[in-house]
Structure 1
Amino acid sequence: MATRFSDRLRVTRPWPSGLRPYVHSYDGYRVAAATSYRVRLVPRGRAVVVVNLGEPFAQVFRLRAAGPAVRVVGSLVAGLEDGPRVCDHPGGQEAIRLELTPLGAYRLFAVPMRELTNTVIELRDVLGPGADELVERMSATRDWAQRFDLLDAALLTRLDGGPDPSPEVVHAWRLLTRSAGTIPVARIATEVGWSHGHLVRRFTQQVGLTPKTSARVLRFHRSVELLSHRWTDLSELAAACGFYDQAHLNREFRALADVTPAEMATARRVEGAHEL
């Protein structure tokens, strides 16, 4: 299904059943405007793949990070984040963007997810040199259905051969997501039958963040989603999302997104990011 906005085309279709346990979103889009733009990514508890079929991002960098910006010359993979990231694009973007569950990303990428935490790398660095050939074939056709077919086949093949996350980590992640990050980590350890230390080690290897940080990100993400649905009472929002009070909510927005809740509520959402 294609949807046209003022300056962009978004293309979606139901993804195969074999991808459904691992994928949150899967969209193609084309931005007609040739002017440069900047967006901010905030933590969502998901890994991201962007298959660039046109111009790549000019640079990608973490706010407040000491290191240099990352120059991404092609398609990219971003691991889970615990802080804001900025992406600059020269304009005229055409891409397919996927948001993966952490355990779906672990199975797809077949690397310890902690190696990708707060990191953006080239797609080929995770999927190997075959990723370049795949992107070239997708770029060579203008037919979005064919592009999705090519990517579906590559993802399903990769998932079939990927490592299985441990059942205990699967259960721990399920507990965290169902509670939107409000369940105590000690209770999770008891539920899965592991010590706290063993849970932290195995969970971080397969998810990328510790259980405590994952809970923090999930609470923040839920509050962002409620703000996008016009929730205006910040004291009630803080209570609903498991924050101590409104001051705690404000501090977490500053720490994880470098904005206030009010600024986030009015920001335009663009392909999983925010124009701030």
Structure 2
Amino acid sequence: MLDRPRPGRDFTVTQVGEMWRLSRPQHPGLAQYLHERAAYVGAPGAGYTVRLVPTGQVTVVVNLGAPYARVARIGARTSDSGPIGSLVSGLDDGPGVCEHPGGQESIRMQLTPLGAYRLFAMPQSELANTSLELRDVLGPEADELAERAAATTSWSRRFDLIDAALLARIHGGPEPDPKVVYAWRSVTTRPGAVSIARIAEEVGWSRRHLARRFTQQVGLTPKTMERVARFQQAVAMLSRPGADLAEISAACGFYDQAHLSLDFRDLAGASPRWCASAAWAVEDAIYLA
């Protein structure tokens, strides 16, 4: 096992499986765009395979160590990334798998979809359900950022470099449409409470126009984004002791327990009961296969 990294004055170190997780508070200028940002350090040979489930977030990894062996969508023949280093994974509406051979050293960011829209200045629909090399989206500056971060052994300095790069690009990126922002917040904070037709009426668009603009700037349709948000609510409730599927189904707005099970099969590739007994890493929005 790799020696525990020494905690810094501005970050903490915790153990996640056979890796160390380094984290520090968010930069206030990134709070509305960045869900979480943390570094992961693993020993050579300490490889792993994890199943990925939809999180409603866009993942960006600046890789400083060994590349991932593959990141793939389960059941999709064309989504396998093959070996991949620094990467971006767009929003998903189904399960995936991630394999790493060990020797991981990386900084991973979970961005809100609208934060990713500003960061990448491109339609988020082009990133949905896929994983790409970060340089293919950001260009040479992605490699330059990884090289600068790898050139220092100071994790505080590495976090500073990442934050500065994010701040520069996000604040110079395109502003999401306020109506899309309203719709995104509606379907993610209260999934199922208000119909998509009602949200479209509230913003003054047709449902078709809302779906088109929303998918361009968020990555998924409003209905699919709502489904992912409802699934995540159920995931959080499942992690609590004594979780009851009937109560979770009612609280999260599923028609019944069968409806909940169907969504878990589609989105996680497993039953709620299996997920409840599996090794979840809830704070990282992944669970172990």
2:46 aligned residue: 35
Contact 1:181–1:214, Cα closer than 8 Å, also in 2:
no
Matches within 5 A, 1:81-120: 81-120=92-131
Among 131, 137, 141, the alignment partner of 1:130 is: 141
TM-score (norm 1): 0.96
User: Which 4+ runs in 1 deviate beyond 4 A?
Assistant: none
Matches within 5 A, 1:1-276: 1-5=11-15, 7-32=18-43, 34-67=45-78, 69-270=80-281, 271-276=284-289
Give the drift of 1:272.
Answer: 3.1
C-alpha RMSD over aligned residues: 1.4
Give the drift of 1:142.
Answer: 1.7
Secondary structure of the 1:25 match is strand
Residues 212 and 32 (structure 1), Cα distance of their counterparts in 2 relative to 1, 3 Å cut: same
* Identity across matched positions, percent: 55
Secondary structure of the 1:114 match is helix
Structure 1 unpaired stretches of 5+: none
Aligned partner of 1:191: which letter?
Answer: E
Give the drift of 1:161.
Answer: 1.3
Contact 2:33–2:112, Cα closer than 8 Å, also in 1:
yes
Deviations 1:3-34 (A, max 9, x none): 23263221111121111110111111212362
Give the drift of 1:224.
Answer: 0.7
d(CA) in 1 for partners of 2:37, 2:192: 24
Secondary structure of the 2:37 match is strand
Give the drift of 1:268.
Answer: 2.0
Contact 2:191–2:227, Cα closer than 8 Å, also in 1:
no
Residues 92 and 114 (structure 1), Cα distance of their counterparts in 2 relative to 1, 3 Å cut: same
Structure 2 unpaired stretches of 5+: 1-10
Aligned partner of 1:4: which letter?
Answer: T
Residues 44 and 68 (structure 1), Cα distance of their counterparts in 2 relative to 1, 3 Å cut: closer
d(CA) in 1 for partners of 2:84, 2:75: 23
Secondary structure of the 2:260 match is helix
Query: Please, which moves more after superposition, 16-25 or 221-230?
Result: 221-230
Aligned partner of 1:264: which letter?
Answer: C
